[in-house]
Structure 1
Amino acid sequence: MEIINARLRHSSDLHTLTITNGVFSAIRVQGSRLSADGGQVDAGGKLLCAPFVEPHIHLDAAMTAGEPNWNQTGTLFEGIERWSERKPMLTEADIRRRVQQTVTLLIENGVQHIRTHADITDPSLIGLRTLCAMRDELKDRVEIQVVAFPQEGLLSFAGGLALMEEALEIGADVIGGIPHFEYTRELGEASMKKVIELAIKYDRLVDVHCDEIDDPNSRFLEVLAAEALFNDLGPRVTASHTTAMGSYDNAYCSRLFRLLKRSGINFISCPTESIHLQGRFDSYPKRRGLTRVKELDEAGINVCFAEDSICDPWYSLGNGKLLRTLDFGLHICHMMGYQDFSRSLDLITDNGARTLNISARYGIEVGRPGNFILLDGEDDYSVVRKQGEVLMSVRQGRILMQRVPAQVVPTGEPRDTRRAVAELA
């Protein structure tokens, strides 16, 4: 495959890229715009970049909002209650249907890398078993990491620790946790130490739902970061949400950031979900309920954005469009300067790849897998401003999907010329 007239991030030049045997074999600057022959893909001056990364989503719960009941308060804890009502209804066929629907939606919107959490506080482990099987079945279309996530507590849920080890034996890629949902502070701290212990024992990555609460006294992040530092695991450890950081005072945060930088751990923020779930107990002023994304980024700490939910008990909207999540996140986090815009796609591409620990095989470079997306824009700023469509997604030189932007025909009626050229089996 040869792609001509493509713009790359942070460059005003047009480029020609060649993919041979599924790998980028050549990337060169063009002197001027070229005319395509029958065997070339003409990017038309649009932005070609690495595929989007969805680093935090719950595929096992996707498309279940209102089943059997809606989350009326909009709180995290009622969401967990509603999900507990849905869990007994899970079957392999049910999960497969919803996961296929959701993954297809993500692929259509430029995602090729997904980290999904699977609730293991279910003795059947049906969600985790099904997601591990689908991870292997769908690997030619999308790369999936499965997190063994103890939704109702690793140490507080009866048999939770045994279920975690069983999940890791089955083949979970990542170890999860939820310390702020454990019954006591002591159990929360112990769960973080146990997660790191298991990561060493099983050689797995770590991704913890950490301090996803408005309580400024929820400070399990410091325990997770310290354990990662002491065991030299930082780049393999991720703290998701950390919304309590939005309620920490600056004096405490100044000390905390010293540890966070030394530890080297990653952060994931879910802007649309967090601003919806958090601040529910406030009158006014209401907190934004997000972690300190801007401050983490400025400190050189890796942070990325995720959608978290698509139509589930915690968030009843969601459409698979990470550009929407990025748009919300930039607004909510006060990252609206041109310097922020000019590298904003990092938050849903490179930073996410670093979080998933796949940077060595990710990106637009010779010798790396021939994976890319083509965006309706010329640079990060224009893509975010226009909320440009994903025009094409290519994986190892094979087109997963392709669409042409909607056009206006002479009658004035919009014409949708979108076409998807690959479907999930």
Structure 2
Amino acid sequence: MGFAEEVRNAVKNLGGWFNGHAHIDRAFVMESKYVEHADMDPWDIATYPLEAKQHTTGALHEGLAYTRESLRERMTRALDESIKYGTRRIDSFVDATADCIGSSAVEVACELRDQYKDRIDFRVGAYPIFGFKDDQPRRWDVFVKSAQMADFIGTLPERDARKYHIGFKEHFRRIINFANQLDYKDVHMHVDQTNNPEENGTESLIEAVRWLRPDSSGRLERRLPTVWAVHALSISSYSEERFQRVVEGLRETNIGVIVCPSATLSNKQNRNILVPMHNSITRVLELLLNDIPVRIGTDNVQDFFLPAGSMDLYNEVSYASNILRFYNFTSWAKIATGNRLNEVDKMKIRSALEN
């Protein structure tokens, strides 16, 4: 059998794919009808820098895409396709913003979560993509309402580093404190997305968790993390000494990492920044060797961020295996189903890193 068939069979034997990160409320919007009200072309938007794409999400909210009918139709398609590909669980961020949509997208997602509960474990993450401003309290109010309905909290700390926002480090403090008030609800944070050593999102997350949700015995007791760093790409650009400090911090605080290979590969690389040579993905193999839990996700699917994305998680495994030069299908099946690796898996990873 070929690699794809070996992986798919191994995943099936382990119960099915676990898609650790998605944005299914924005899936399947690469048609002009979704942004024609803003005189935009979705294929043009797809070439914009990451921050500009985040801005255009507001235009998407104002059009057809975020009517309840379209949300239900497109999220249903995403769930149906996930089931077709053998996914047993999917964790998806869903926009919760103080513009025209409010909590409506999260409400529709929660309805579908309940409707599909016997077919797929769909977990909804309330996602305030535009961040917070103290002089606009409705931003926080919408988020609170949405987070109370949702299964977990998903955020974008870098958004609050902007002028007039609450501040980058304040974002970590407020979100984790609030999640603690919701019975220590799981938190997933986008961090270090641009492959730039000047980013310190993972380090800031470690520091925040160290003070606000410490879990020093979690790794030793093999408890699943309740805090996850999504992407953590820029740590690959760090010096070896700095990277090892990040690894120790992740171990100490029991923070997991979610990797989305097609998303990080799609980043435009800044050729003026000189860093240790690496592919555009976080150092998955080294994290696994250090007992850092790693999940894999599709991220965006057929939207401005990733127009060529797919709900088939095998594609992400295929990308990752080639980028990292690691082809042990048994290990990849464990990662892609949310299972921990054993010492045999780690031995094979060590061998791959040494060759």
Query: Do the two structures share a fold, i.e. TM-score over 0.5?
Result: yes
Give the drift of 1:210.
1.4
Counting only pairs closer than 5 Å after superposition, residues 295-334 of structure 1 correspond to structure 2 as 295-334=286-325
Count of residues paired in the alignment: 307
Aligned partner of 2:118 in structure 1 is 140
- Opposite residue 87 of structure 1, the aligned amino acid is H
Give the drift of 1:157.
9.3
Measured in 2, the distance between the counterparts of 1:313 and 1:200 equals 33
Identify the match of residue 96 of structure 2 among 120, 123, 134. Answer: 120
TM-score, scaled relative to structure 2? 0.79
More divergent stretch after superposition (213-222 vs 147-156)? 147-156
Q: Assess if the C-alpha contact under 8 Å between 2:46 and 2:306 holds in 1.
A: no
Identify the match of residue 188 of structure 1 among 165, 168, 174. Answer: 168
Measured in 1, the distance between the counterparts of 2:281 and 2:12 equals 30
More helix by share: 2
Measured in 2, the distance between the counterparts of 1:104 and 1:333 equals 30
SS of the equivalent of 2:257 reads strand
Give the drift of 1:161.
2.2
Match status 1:163 vs 2:142: yes
- Opposite residue 243 of structure 1, the aligned amino acid is L
Q: Assess if the C-alpha contact under 8 Å between 1:155 and 1:187 holds in 2.
A: no
- Opposite residue 348 of structure 1, the aligned amino acid is A
Question: What are the superposed Cα offsets for residues 148-178 of structure 1, whole Å, 9 maximum, x if unpaired?
Answer: 1111224589433222212123x11111221
Counting only pairs closer than 5 Å after superposition, residues 357-376 of structure 1 correspond to structure 2 as none
Measured in 2, the distance between the counterparts of 1:93 and 1:311 equals 18
Give RMSD over aligned pairs.
Answer: 2.8
Q: Cα gap change, 1:301/1:92 in structure 2, threshold over 3 Å: closer, same or farther?
A: same
SS of the equivalent of 2:304 reads coil
More strand by share: 1
SS of the equivalent of 1:113 reads strand
Measured in 2, the distance between the counterparts of 1:57 and 1:127 equals 14
Aligned partner of 2:343 in structure 1 is none
Question: What are the superposed Cα offsets for residues 362-388 of structure 1, whole Å, 9 maximum, x if unpaired?
Answer: xxxxxxxxxxxxxxxxxxx9xxxxxxx
Identify the match of residue 61 of structure 1 among 20, 26, 38. Answer: 26
Give the drift of 1:142.
1.0
Question: Which segments of 5 or more consecutive residues in structure 1 lack a partner in the other structure?
Answer: 1-8, 10-43, 355-380, 382-425
Measured in 2, the distance between the counterparts of 1:305 and 1:74 equals 25
Measured in 2, the distance between the counterparts of 1:177 and 1:293 equals 22
Identical aligned residues as a percent: 22
Tell which structure's C-alpha radius of gyration is larger: 1
Question: What are the superposed Cα offsets for residues 64-87 of structure 1, whole Å, 9 maximum, x if unpaired?
Answer: 124322224253223213322111
Q: Assess if the C-alpha contact under 8 Å between 2:257 and 2:295 holds in 1.
A: yes
Measured in 1, the distance between the counterparts of 2:335 and 2:268 equals 21
Q: Assess if the C-alpha contact under 8 Å between 2:10 and 2:333 holds in 1.
A: no
- Opposite residue 83 of structure 1, the aligned amino acid is T
Question: What are the superposed Cα offsets for residues 1-21 of structure 1, whole Å, 9 maximum, x if unpaired?
Answer: xxxxxxxx9xxxxxxxxxxxx
TM-score, scaled relative to structure 1? 0.67
Measured in 2, the distance between the counterparts of 1:212 and 1:155 equals 22
Aligned partner of 1:78 in structure 2 is 52
Measured in 2, the distance between the counterparts of 1:283 and 1:342 equals 39
Q: Cα gap change, 1:45/1:216 in structure 2, threshold over 3 Å: closer, same or farther?
A: closer
Q: Cα gap change, 1:299/1:85 in structure 2, threshold over 3 Å: closer, same or farther?
A: same
SS of the equivalent of 1:144 reads strand
- Opposite residue 270 of structure 1, the aligned amino acid is C
Give the drift of 1:199.
1.4
Aligned partner of 1:265 in structure 2 is 255
SS of the equivalent of 1:350 reads coil
Aligned partner of 2:332 in structure 1 is 344
More divergent stretch after superposition (142-151 vs 233-242)? 233-242
Give the drift of 1:248.
1.8
Q: Assess if the C-alpha contact under 8 Å between 1:146 and 1:173 holds in 2.
A: yes
Aligned partner of 2:214 in structure 1 is 232
Question: What are the superposed Cα offsets for residues 31-77 of structure 1, whole Å, 9 maximum, x if unpaired?
Answer: xxxxxxxxxxxxx9996221111111001100012432222425322
